[in-house]
Amino acid sequence: MNDGAGHVLMSKSFFWPMFKRAWDKSFTIVNIQSAFTKTGIWPTDGKEVIQRITRPSIIMRERSLGALKTPKSSKAIRRF
């Protein structure tokens, strides 16, 4: 990789042994259990899952009724 500026000619016969070693080192019981715990999948923690998949709500500041104007362009609608 050093001689080829990061470009490597890779064939299936070279790829598989490298992939297999990386797979064996990364897919351990500890890593798998840690991933399930971190995401709240197991033990079941619904709050953790909901927190990760929902967008934060936008807090709108209160305006007086007289200050509201009808948006007249698509940019104004997006801003609203």
Q: What is the pLDDT of residues 2-11, one digit of tens each?
A: 666 667 777 8
Instruction: Look at residue 1 and tell me if it is in a domain.
Output: no
Instruction: Look at residue 43 and tell me if it is in a domain.
Output: yes
- The model's pLDDT over 30-77, given as tens digits with 9 standing for 90+, comes to 998 898 888 777 777 777 778 778 887 777 666 555 667 888 888 888
Instruction: Look at residue 33 and tell me if it is in a domain.
Output: yes
Count of alpha carbons within 13 angstroms of residue 23, beta-carbon side: 6
pTM summary value: 0.41
- Domain coverage including residue 35: 28-55
Listed residue (17, 1, 19) closest to 9, CA to CA: 1
Instruction: Look at residue 22 and tell me if it is in a domain.
Output: no
* Count of structural domains within the chain: 1
